[in-house]
Copies of this chain bind each other. A is one copy, B any other.
């Protein structure tokens, strides 16, 4: 299955990135946007056009704009396959079911890619490289699924077939809930003195990092998926009320921390394999250019693979603590290597 002519409706980050990647593969791409500036920029970036018969139409608009484009696109391209790329799927299926586009010609999809926000100018052809791309093939014509799978492979992603309702529950848990919790936590920081925040360590920084996300993007995602998110928030509310009621009980607090530990352990390790226990190796470095390079040069020399890392800073001072996540054997190898070369390596956290 090869693709020759694709139409992309919506010239934002995702639509334009798909267009760029397709054009690089020699596929004819027709870009569309309600905003002529965005459309012009996307066309200029992609340097491709198509006046031939369209095989695949990709809806890459915000969810709220979808209803206004479906009927017109189906009328203009009655033989094409149709997909969307939005991050909430049930709502999109409802939109399509009330349009003239038959549901068996429409495949709901969600590329799990690109947290950067910023329209056509932020687009990159490699945005989908190595990323999962959810599709919901149930009740959809085989040629629509085949064309979409060809698209995903062409873009370097890999398709995962998942029911839309289940998709929405999954992203509510692993993406939307963390976003809301980070925002709720970060909001509480308004209640603190400025000098208190100077004592913040890596824990607060990690926990609130995604609170910096774009509110325009998220208000639409959250409200569109409110049905899947609400039970999770109610469960959180229940656990929070229990915690408040038993805050003076060491047993209750210990139980919550343990439940959190085991919950976190369910997140699989890198490369989607089984959850792995990493060994965390702390290293104190001087906080100046070149130190990280030298450290990773040592990692390369010792042939160890760094799975993850954090950098921790101390307010007012110029040393840094790097914690490397490694396999147990790599941690042993690297620890011995670094010690032999004069690095300030600490014992791994158990």
Contact = CB atoms under 8 A, between A and B. Distances in A.
A268 B198 contact: yes
Contacts of A118: 347, 349-350
A341 interface: no
Interface residues of A, number: 141
Contacts of A182: 203, 207, 260
A214 to B, nearest CB: 8
A220 B252 CA distance: 11
25 contacts: A115-B201, A122-B346, A132-B199, A132-B314, A162-B195, A166-B193, A170-B193, A173-B196, A178-B185, A182-B203, A182-B207, A203-B210, A205-B267, A206-B209, A206-B210, A218-B253, A219-B251, A222-B253, A223-B247, A223-B253, A233-B247, A271-B316, A289-B304, A289-B305, A309-B311
A264 B189 contact: yes
Determine which residue in A130, A237, A264, A265 has the highest number of CB atoms from chain B within 10 A of its CB, and name it: A264
B243 A180 contact: yes
A296 B292 CA distance: 6
A235 B194 CA distance: 19
A240 B233 CA distance: 8
Interface of A: 112, 115-118, 121-122, 124, 126, 129-132, 134, 158, 162, 166, 169-171, 173-175, 177-216, 218-220, 222-223, 226, 229-230, 232-237, 239-241, 243-244, 247-251, 253-268, 270-272, 282, 284, 287-290, 292-300, 303-306, 308-311, 313-319, 344, 346-347, 349-350
B306 A308 contact: no
Nearest to A330: B289
B347 A116 contact: yes
B126 A284 contact: yes
A185 B257 CA distance: 11
Given A130-B316, A187-B239, 13 more contacts: A118-B347, A131-B314, A180-B256, A186-B259, A189-B263, A197-B267, A206-B206, A207-B207, A209-B310, A219-B257, A222-B247, A271-B318, A288-B305
Contacts of A170: 192-193, 195-196, 199
